[in-house]
Amino acid sequence: MDKETVVTSIREISIIPALRMFSADDARFAADAVAAAGIPIVEVTMTVPGALEVIGELVRHNAQVIVGAGTVFDLATARRCLDAGVGFLTSTGLDLSVVEFAVKAGVAVLPGALTPSEVMAAWKAGADFVKIFPVAQLGGPAYIKALKAPFQHVPFVAAGGVTQANAVDFIRAGATALGIGKDLIPQDAIQHRQAHRIKELAHRYLGMIKEARTPYE
């Protein structure tokens, strides 16, 4: 999937489900569940056992799903993820060599950042989005709003502590998208293979995105 399609889809759907599973089978089930619920984007973190194999399988068998790699901490891992066919690379911190590699390779990249200096460095390096992580611990929506004042042109992904209670506030504060893990894909729903429960949560979050972007009356 080309970079432009990936970037446009993330902007439009505004939710990036993070798969931090304990097994490859769990990750595959979670990916299928969120995609069937209307969110054809998944971030497979490198902490998933056999993450690269999971990514490769999802890419081969789910052509309509954007499969990204998360927790990409170094250039060597980034290269392996690209070989597996990822549509985007993201991390919880800023490694400029990974950003520069992604830019040259023509793949979307969402580096993690926390401070204004890191946001500036990531954007100057060519990031497509800047992921603010862990955003809840730094003030949540208020921190996104504070960053948007000087960085109005930078699309932020709010991640780390996004829940149903604050999702609308994050979007209204200026986040372009939300990175959501366990609050969208609960571990017990995975263990019991409750796809219907994940579907319900996905629909709630999609509804919140729509609500957040509806102009105030």
The per-residue pLDDT string of the chain (217 residues; one tens digit each, 9 = 90 and over) reads: 899 999 999 999 999 999 998 898 999 999 999 999 999 999 999 999 999 999 999 999 888 999 999 999 999 999 999 999 999 999 999 999 999 999 999 999 999 999 999 999 999 999 999 999 999 999 999 999 999 999 999 999 999 999 999 999 999 999 999 999 999 999 999 999 999 999 999 999 999 999 999 876 4
CA-nearest of 84, 75, 29, 74 to 51 is: 84
Gap between the Cα atoms of 59 and 63, Å rounded = 6
Q: pTM here?
A: 0.95
Question: Mind listing the pLDDT tens digit for each residue in 195-216?
Answer: 999 999 999 999 999 999 987 6
pLDDT for the residue numbered 216: 60
CA distances from 50 to 21, 88, 149 (A): 11, 18, 41
Q: Which CATH number fits domain 3-212: 3.20.20.70, 3.40.50.2020, 3.10.20.30, 3.30.70.260?
A: 3.20.20.70
Q: What is the DSSP letter of 136?
A: G
pLDDT for the residue numbered 62: 86
Kindly report the backbone phi and psi dihedral angles of residue 144, in degrees, each rounded to the nearest multiple of 5, phi listed first: -60, -45
For the chain, give every domain's residue range.
Answer: 3-212
